[in-house]
Chains A and B, each alone.
Chain A
């Protein structure tokens, strides 16, 4: 079956512009996560959705970052007034449920590489 998909694969923008990054999770997965991976680092948590609601947005760095998942499937990460420091790979992951135990394998998409010039 289809895995997690993310579009675009690459996005180049200018400082101050607005960008949207899209994540299409595995069908039926209720939990969706966004991570940011800077060069040479491990992914860092941004936000977690359970269904349509953001259950935990504690990782969003500031109010320029916002994410939605209006119908409980596709999610969009929105970044306003982009800064050069926002340049990173943005990873999306989904899992069948966010509420089951500890073992909760997250399936990752290929990421969107964002470059802010």
Chain B
């Protein structure tokens, strides 16, 4: 059974810092991995999608990497801003399955 874990559960940093959020999964037979952002009481906004054959994806100040063999992904946020404050979720889709399995998220606070 696929388990997804995100560390840390919460992170608070001053504005302008670069930071890394971690996601690990137990079953390396994944189809893809997707990072989402969730604002309090709101829906899930897709940030980056990495297919199993890819090593990384970039969008603006965000960079996500994938090491399938070790069961790890990282989300790198450069030059953090207060507007980046949210919960960040990673989710994996196993090969042969339709569903996403989510981690519990990292609650990020960027202090002005």
Query: Do A and B bind?
Result: no
- Residues of chain A at the chain B interface (Cβ within 8 Å): none
